[in-house]
Amino acid sequence: MSERPVDPRVHQYRHTLPFGAQPIGGGKTRFRFWAPSRDHVDLEIEDGETLAMTGSADGWFECEANCGPGARYRYRLDADLAVPDPGSRWQPDDVHGPSAVIDPFAYQWTHSDWRGRRWEETILYELHVGAMGGYNGVKARLADLASLGITAIELMPLADFPGRHNWGYDGVLPFAPDSAYGTPDELKALIDAAHGHGLQVFLDVVYNHFGPDGNYLHSYAEPFFKAGVHTPWGPAIDFDRPEVAQFFIENALYWIHEYRFDGLRFDAVHAIRSPKWLREVAEHVRRSVECDRHVHLVLENEENTSSLLECKPGHACHFDAQWSDDFHNTLHVMLTGETESYYGAYAQTPATKLARALSEGFVYQGEPSPIHDGKPRGEPSGALAPSAFVAFLQNHDQVGNRAMGERLTRLVEPRALRAATALLLLSPQIPMIFMDEENGSTRPFLFFTDYTGALADAVREGRRKEFAKFAIFSDPERREHIPDPNDHRTFEQSAVPHSSEPSPGNEEGREWRHFYQSALAVRNKLLVSRLRNTRSLGAQVLAEPAALDGESAALFAARRPPARSGTLTSHGKGGGVRAQWQLGDGETLTIAINLGDHPLSLGDMPPGKIIFETPDRVRDHLGGAQLPPQATLVWLTGDLHSFLRPHPEVSA
């Protein structure tokens, strides 16, 4: 149950959990803990009493204790094992330490009148809180991000993980924001301040697995997992069990209501293997949210299940959108020529695949996938709105899962990268930028953890073994140069500069920033207000890049940068596409992109006004309707004076 005080002068929020520690007033706290694998559980209050908890036939243990906010506690299972609360709101001493009782009403919200923004207004900025200096470090960047044109920040997972730094996908206590970044109230202050700047805040949540260190569930709740069923990250969670399903539903409601997040991104839901539960959690969120508040739910789903994204008349959508790996993968192949690993599914006719991604969303809509053992992947998606897809050129996965963490600025010529970026920022799909991308950052974003002992060795060697299948790392000596995830320097290399502006003298960085700001200004002023009810008018291939044969592929791999280098390596494979959409007000948006080294024919030039181009003044070189190399052109039909009028439906 989510609570909002009746008194409008009091701006406090709490989601009342059916488990964990709940202050009930009078210096007392109620504790409730599910331990079906145990017959007896004691509650241990640090520097206080130890109480035997009352058990029930369905595995629940509960009691009340004379303690209030600030008290630290554990559940004692036997003489040798006391565990933190799986519903802990705060772990001041990390995942193996005691949990702390928290009063959610302690934080006074300043911007409680915030109701969010429409999904079509969303321009996402994915960031890692630790790499940006913790909650307060992110908070210091908000005004700058708003001035850039960003309308939403997306935080990588916060669930408490072991050690000082981690990507967040190894969390083990889903209700406890990690103490390495600050306190719960500092997280609330970050979200509160973001709302004051007109920024939505999204949270990446991981419900498909727990990390390998600090997860005690097996010791007291074995039925939490499906016996004999495994995911790539460990035992599969049993979402068919009501207690387990409710645990994660409460987590989603908790972040939305107690922390006032504007949306959630559900990580790798294909590993959850329960579309029924996904629909259930979405329905719980939709029913719980105030009718005038915008809350958005986004999936990462390798299975391309378009039915989860459908919006039926008279019914709320289950999920607003899905991360579009297909958009990224096709453009990455066209930009870099890389075809190893999952890029192999996009190696053939990538421009045709890009045209499909722009016009229909998913590239794979039931066709056999070369990287899924030839099994069909996906469902038809052509009827979905363009805004049902979150497009990106870079994110934590696509950069950080490279052995050396190279950003595209290390792999692609600036002119070609600008052309692809213009397509990203001005197509009707929802664009997402990865932190510091807007400054043309060349800093790597590496995979980092903070494990010790045998687990640290296993993670380091496992990662190096994983890359042995890549041609450039077939040499064991070269693999030794892959950074150790547990070396603190690996995290330090991935941290972004303290200043949100490029350093003095970094003229290239300033040019990149101006480019992003200009493109986003066009999107916010000319497109956002008319994206609702937009539909595709189709896309055509202007040219396919020449296929890499075995010899040229080997040469491409050979000129890749050495492990310790970051030199530019490729002009890319090229190719070109032209796509059109009918916007919500009936006008037409057209984007043409040429990533090759030769001009491409545009065919019939549609009427209208050019609203963005890269490189500058590319329109002066359109003789014979030829689009120059490594260029993008964006134009609109209709009277531009009408586009420039203010639209009241756009949030300030």
The catalytic residues are: 267, 300
* Token representation of residue 149: 């044109």
CA distance 298 to 322: 5
> What DSSP designation does 527 have?
I
CA distance 316 to 328: 28
Rounded to 5°, angle at Cα 75 from 69 and 79: 140
Contacts for 265 with CB less than 8 Å, ≥ 6 apart: 154, 202, 203, 204, 205, 298, 299, 300, 323
CA-based nearest residue to 513, from 442, 408, 443, 439 = 439
C-alpha gyration radius of the chain: 25
* Token representation of residue 482: 């892959």
Contacts for 507 with CB less than 8 Å, ≥ 6 apart: none
CA distance 494 to 434: 12
> What DSSP designation does 49 have?
-
Q: Is 625 left (phi over 0), alpha (psi -120 to 50) or beta?
A: left
CA-based nearest residue to 193, from 182, 203, 202, 201 = 201
CA-based nearest residue to 399, from 496, 302, 469, 516 = 496
CA distance 493 to 376: 40
At 557, the amino acid letter reads A
Q: Is 234 left (phi over 0), alpha (psi -120 to 50) or beta?
A: left
Contacts for 286 with CB less than 8 Å, ≥ 6 apart: 295, 316, 318
Tell me, rounded to whole angstroms, the distance of Cα 395 from its chain centroid: 8
Q: What is the DSSP string of 151-165?
A: -EEEEPP-EE-SSS-
For residue 628, how many C-alpha atoms fall within 13 Å in the half-sphere facing its CB? 15
Q: Which helix (H) or strand (E) holds 113?
A: none
CA distance 419 to 260: 37
> What DSSP designation does 412 have?
B
CA distance 65 to 74: 13
CA distance 441 to 410: 9
Helix, strand or coil for residue 609?
strand
CA distance 254 to 610: 46
CA-based nearest residue to 496, from 12, 126, 93, 168 = 126
